[in-house]
Amino acid sequence: MWHRPSYGKDGDVEAGPRLLYPMMLESPELRWAFIRKIYVILTAQMALTVAVASVVVAVRPISHFFVSSAAGLGLYIFLLILPFIVLCPLYYYHQRHPVNFLLLGLFTVSISFAVGLTCAFTSGKVILEAAILTAVVVVSLTLYTFWAARRGHDFNFLGPFLFAAVLVLLVFALIQMFFPLGKISVMIYGGLAAIIFAGYIIYDTDNLIKRYSYDEYIWAAVALYLDIINLFLSLLTLFRAADS
């Protein structure tokens, strides 16, 4: 189910199949149990993000504190940096329970605050449009990737292209910060970012099916979570620029 027929290095059928990925010989039942575990963790992360972001949006004094005072601005910058700080110990303790889940919770909450602050200054219509489209894209691409993997397709080749695309996106963002190019360029940025992170959803879902080992469930959940959050923020940027 999780692999396709393959020939030897020289195309010799008698040479037997080559291992295309490490999980090729494992039991499908074990793999499905691992996949279910990842999506349970991911669902909990998304629920926590929605809860925290909703509180930040609903309680207006929270968002005003972050933008109206020097202390709030400093805390906001700290919350933006915190996920990158947490990733270091999370990498080191990702196999140690329950420390890994505590760090994952801290990582999720810090990103959720940033998402909430972004949504706090965005119209409800734009947030709803971005959320609905994100859900549709995530579900559709996830189902497509599972369907394609079942038929032997592999998306590992996307890795280098997506990495290069993210670098271009970062340079584009830096240019926008120092030399604003107007609403059209913001819409282009949001559209390109959405396409890139849609590609990452396919790439990381394919890795989830084929390449992650059982002790890497935290990293698999983090990868998919970041893909979904970045896709949502990209669509939010696109729709907010179009709505302005």
| pLDDT one-digit tens code per residue, 42-55 | 999 999 999 999 99
Alpha-carbon distance of 108 to 78, in angstroms, equals: 14
CB contact burial 86-107 (16+ within 10 A = b; e otherwise):
beeebeebbeeeeebeebbebb
- Specify the pTM: 0.85
How many other CB atoms are there within 10 angstroms of residue 26's CB atom?
13
pLDDT-derived band at 73, boundaries 50, 70, 90: confident
> pLDDT digits over 172-186, tens only?
888 887 877 778 888
For the chain, the helix, strand and coil percentages under 3-state DSSP, each to the nearest 5: 80, 0, 20
Whether residue 221 has pLDDT greater than 50: yes
Q: Which 8-state DSSP code applies to residue 77?
A: H
Q: What is the dihedral of CA 58, 63, 65, 71, to 10 degrees?
A: 140
Domain ranges of the chain: 13-243
Which of 188, 32, 55 has its CA nearest to residue 112?
A: 55
